[in-house]
């Protein structure tokens, strides 16, 4: 396992351009994000922090990175391995990586792409689960919609 992780870091260090995918993550563990050097697979923005970051790991060990859980959901929707993929999110409350399917999500948080779904290890009465967050993303019911934003923020 140490050899695999070392290989991943060596392959990432040898690339000149932004990192968009890493192969060989057969342990399906969240990989460290190289801030300012890793691209969001969906929107192509460089990741500026681990805050609200997400990772998708295919069963074959390919790993993709996202700056917002909403980007992860949009990208994953048509992938044939979506139900078998390992999904990780970096939480706002614990600052740790957890299973995205077990996380709770705020609905009006500040996130990189302004969708508003910040991940938490422990939710509150206003938080929603992964399936509800996914449904809202697919419907466009997030903070990027001015009507939804007004309703959620009360402005």
Would the pLDDT of 115 be above 50?
A: yes
pLDDT computed for residue 12 by the predictor: 52
Q: Quick one: what percent of the chain has pLDDT higher than 70? A: 90
Residue 52: HSE in the Cβ half-sphere, 13 Å Cα cutoff: 24
Would the pLDDT of 136 be above 80?
A: yes
CA dist 103 and 88 (Å) reads 9
Per-residue pLDDT tens over the stretch 1-22: 555 554 555 555 555 688 999 9
Using CB atoms within 10 A of its CB, is residue 22 exposed (0-12), middle (13-18) or buried (19+)? buried
CA nearest to 118, candidates 93, 87, 146: 93
CB 89 within 8 A of CB 82: no
Per-residue pLDDT tens over the stretch 41-85: 999 999 999 999 999 999 999 999 999 999 999 999 999 999 999
Would the pLDDT of 126 be above 50?
A: yes
Least-confidence region, from 8-12, 82-86, 114-118, 125-129: 8-12
pTM score of the predicted model:
0.86
């Amino acid at each position: 396992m140490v050899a695999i992780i070392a290989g991943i870091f060596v392959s990432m260090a040898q690339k000149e351009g932004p990192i968009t995918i890493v192969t060989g993550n057969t342990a399906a563990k969240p990989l460290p994000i190289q801030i300012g050097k890793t691209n969001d697979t969906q929107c192509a923005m460089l990741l500026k922090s681990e805050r609200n970051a997400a990772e998708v790991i295919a069963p074959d060990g390919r790993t993709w990175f996202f700056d917002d859980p909403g980007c992860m959901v949009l990208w994953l929707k048509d992938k044939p391995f979506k139900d078998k993929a390992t999904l990780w999110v970096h939480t706002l409350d614990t600052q740790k990586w957890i299973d995205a399917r077990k996380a709770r999500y705020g609905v009006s948080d500040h996130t990189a792409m302004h969708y508003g779904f910040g991940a938490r290890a422990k939710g509150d009465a206003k938080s929603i689960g992964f399936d509800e967050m996914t449904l809202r993303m697919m419907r466009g019911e997030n903070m990027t919609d001015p009507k939804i934003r007004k309703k959620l923020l009360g402005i």
